[in-house]
Amino acid sequence: MTELSKTEAIGKIVELAKEVEIKDNIDWSQFQMTKDEAYEMFAQNVLTQMMAVPEEYRETVMLGTLTKLLVENFIISSKLEAKNV
């Protein structure tokens, strides 16, 4: 397996993140960055944080982080839906 450069890894993360979007009801015009810029910024942050964790703990830390973000997203989405009902 060929090792990716940091730029290539960020590109792969962005590509994968965009592929798994279920729905995107975000009005990006209200933000000071584009959708692509946001994805690239957060992919770079995720990769930097992952590389700071010892390799033997990366999978567990990343799964814990993903779970936390999914739960937070669920709660925020539920609160927003309740306000719009």
Q: What distance in Å separates the CA atoms of residue 49 and residue 16, rounded to the nearest whole number?
A: 18
What pTM value is reported for the model?
A: 0.69
Residues 8-64 have pLDDT tens digits of 888 888 888 887 766 667 788 999 999 899 999 999 999 999 999 999 999 999 889
Q: Are 28 and 67 in the same domain?
A: no
Q: Are 48 and 59 in the same domain?
A: no
Q: Are 61 and 72 in the same domain?
A: yes
Q: Are 40 and 66 in the same domain?
A: no
Burial grade of 66 (CB within 10 A; 0-12, 13-18, 19 or more): exposed
Domain that holds residue 60: 54-85
Q: Are 48 and 62 in the same domain?
A: no
Beta strands in 1-85 (DSSP E): none
pLDDT of residue 80: 84
Q: Are 27 and 47 in the same domain?
A: yes
Instruction: Tell me how many domains the chain contains.
Output: 2
Q: Which two tokens stand for residue 24?
A: 């995107």
Q: Are 37 and 67 in the same domain?
A: no
